[in-house]
Amino acid sequence: MFSPDEFALLIEDLSLLPSISPTTRRLINRMDEPDVALSEIASLIEEDPGLASRVLKVANSPFYPYSGKVGSVREALIRLGLSSARAIILATSLFDRIRSEPGVFGLWTHSLSVAITTRRLAGLIRFPMVDEAGVAGLLHDIGKIPYYMFAPDLIRELDRDFDPAFPDHVREKDLFGLSHVEVGARLVTAWRFPLLIRQPIRWHHDPLSSPREERQMVLIVSLSDQIAQGFGLEHRELLTEGEGFLRIAGELGLSEPSLLHLMKELLRDRDMILQRAGDLL
């Protein structure tokens, strides 16, 4: 067991990204600077064949279902946008470090499914920032990563003894002093993500209590999280009871036919998403 202060120190350390390669770390920092050019980032990525192939795979993945194939890192970056590409490189580098831990692959598949669902949901309700919605979906459970890094035995126990009466984020607080929404919010703040991304990470398990700032994004991510879990694309968190689900859908102005359409699409693509998740990590 950890105290909140002990775990906060570990997170502070992790926010400096000590576990990923110096080249990737430099790239992630550079991608966030205002004067950066896409061609410079493309050249940096091309220096690392593993990274280049990952960026290409993501650009040609179910994230972008109705787009043609891209063949170069430059084209991939144009499709993804630099800020989405930065989030994808960051997330995959962190997941990659702990991929052999039991439970991590499930968390990755879940994160990817939620990212795909948030993009589709955002498109459906004409939310203008579809790419950012995808990033928020991809990173929404990023706060769980430090548990696998720093306390694999404890998180294994928590995964094994899942009890719907005590959702993960409540039990995490007992074990680690900080729940994954708190850990995630600290990490994305340290990584200089905007409020639009920070809010859904902080509030996705309590969306109806979220403040007004970026509330729509919070609702989109929370609803997508629940839809993905409903289709078995899960990481065994707790679903909001039906009433909460319908209130969120109502507040987003999502009609019943649109909701059904989204669910049908996800059901249709479920196996493909599960299959492709392995390729992308």
Q: If binding is defined by CB under 5 A, does position 225 make contact with Fe ion? A: yes
Nearest 5 degrees, angle CA 215-CA 233-CA 116? Answer: 55
Minimum distance from residue 204 beta carbon to Fe ion (Å): 6
| DSSP classification of residue 67 | S
Residues 230-249 that bind Fe ion (CB under 5 A): 237
Minimum distance from residue 114 beta carbon to Fe ion (Å): 6
- Segment interacting with Fe ion, rule: CB under 5 A, options 28-36, 100-108, 219-227, 252-260: 219-227
The whole-angstrom separation of Cα 216 and Cα 122 is 10
Q: In whole angstroms, what separates CA 101 from the centre of its chain? A: 18
C-beta of 55 vs 151, nearer to Fe ion = 151
Q: If binding is defined by CB under 5 A, does position 159 make contact with Fe ion? A: no
Q: If binding is defined by CB under 5 A, does position 172 make contact with Fe ion? A: no
Minimum distance from residue 223 beta carbon to Fe ion (Å): 11
Which residue type, as a one-letter code, is found at position 1? M
Minimum distance from residue 61 beta carbon to Fe ion (Å): 19
Per-residue binding letters, 124-153, with Fe ion (x by CB under 5 A): -----------------x------------
C-beta of 141 vs 269, nearer to Fe ion = 141
175-209 burial code (b ≥16 CB/10 A, e <16): bbbbbbbbbbbbbbeebebeebbbbbbbbbbebee
DSSP element (H, E) containing 46: helix 38-46
C-beta of 214 vs 237, nearer to Fe ion = 237
Contact 40, 255 (CB under 8 A): no
The whole-angstrom separation of Cα 159 and Cα 248 is 27
The whole-angstrom separation of Cα 51 and Cα 24 is 8
Q: Which residues contact 104 (CB under 8 A, 6 or more apart)?
A: 95, 98, 148
Minimum distance from residue 262 beta carbon to Fe ion (Å): 17
Contact 184, 143 (CB under 8 A): yes
Minimum distance from residue 79 beta carbon to Fe ion (Å): 25
- Segment interacting with Fe ion, rule: CB under 5 A, options 81-89, 150-158, 208-216, 217-225: 217-225
C-beta of 70 vs 114, nearer to Fe ion = 114
Q: List contacts with Fe ion (CB under 5 A).
A: 141, 225, 237
